[in-house]
Structure 1
């Protein structure tokens, strides 16, 4: 247990360093890329119902656990809204050493039901990865309402309870992913990608700019706004705005353009590395990760560091 405690402490320091390096977590509703506000902590410990109404009601422990869940989802390329809402309902984002029957940890997972040993379940990273592993095994989970997706994993006696936490979960993910952050020099690309990662699984709606749905260029515009960088609204104008990057020299944070039309590209995605991008494909699909190695690829641009085009 001594080594487990030391490992947990080290993990917490790593998570806090990750968040500090990329973002200052904000509580104001301001515009993406705003500066000057920071989450305040309280000593509140809600026990029943969605008593936590806003980010400033989350204390340091809850914020750290939320950050770990979001970062784990980021590493797995998965949206973290469902996981955060589930942990809010199950444990109020606390790594509990007790629960119903033998339930433990952030997600109240049970050793007797094959979730792992007590020591493993009380490791927040292990618990989060277990939740994500079970979530992606649910058929059609991306299209399910949050409460149904969470219930398919948790099999709770209160299957509708997760829905009440969805608004706070989304605000928490948005804040941690950089929708309203102070950007450190050299970290813009990380914030752009983190914002896009937080939108995975959201529906495509033509003309939408978030927060609940996006089209392709609405997603990329908002992602760059999260880093305090203004780019044009539509794909054809975004193509003209950025510095052109030769194929093979693209980097995470660059934009990839497709589907050449008379007025310019008809589609855009955000490069995240390893030949992959995050994009909002079309009305039949959701925001997702895909390969950008395809026949209608036009090229790449790098908008980072450009001045406001207006």
Structure 2
């Protein structure tokens, strides 16, 4: 019985190897891989899912650059070698040299049993001086066109939802994206971050919160629709701060996902070459902490006045 497949990244190619329940997995020679894909990007767990609802995992062969190329699970033949930009079943391709695509997440956002694509489009209208970064959502479905050609700026009638952040000419919005249900309402919420954004002389790095309720009710989501913004303390001018390497995990075991961000090049004040990892609790915990700090501040002010 075949249990699962191992996806292994090599030099310029990705290999898929099956694991048998009886034999288990010990080791495999390079020539024994079941499937090899050339010109492929390194595999990421958050970019694996079933976007056509047939029960098979679809292989994202390329997820960044001028195009996103996907091979459906039902059409993968073992013993074959594929070229990512030629042997695809579905592709999203940019129109022009000043657009860059990054597939950020594959997850069933709208609970319809089809995994959905969350894509970042980065477009420069002036040859690279300024950049416009947006998040796009394409809901999963049974059938896809062979290719979706985007407009020069990344727009397309195929997108189900477009998310625009506050103005930032550097295009840092949605540099990192995390998805989980932070308010436990049964809907996934999206958290794009902009770790390089300098908000003030003492603040750098932002995480935005967009609730599943907003995503469900709007096709065009703008900054005014965001639920909250978390602004980080500035640690360093030269590297990214809050929101870099953003991901989530239930760190304290309370059943709620917590935000985690890290930067190997960032060190706290007074230290060098250490790197930094920060953990933020869920929104409810965050609000309780802020309320408690505010209450202490009010009490201290009252004591001073007395």
Which structure is higher in strand share? 2
Name the TM tier (shorter chain).
under 0.3
Structure 1 length as normaliser, TM-score?
A: 0.25
Q: With a CA cutoff of 8 Å and minimum separation of 6, indicate the structure with the bigger relative contact order.
A: 1
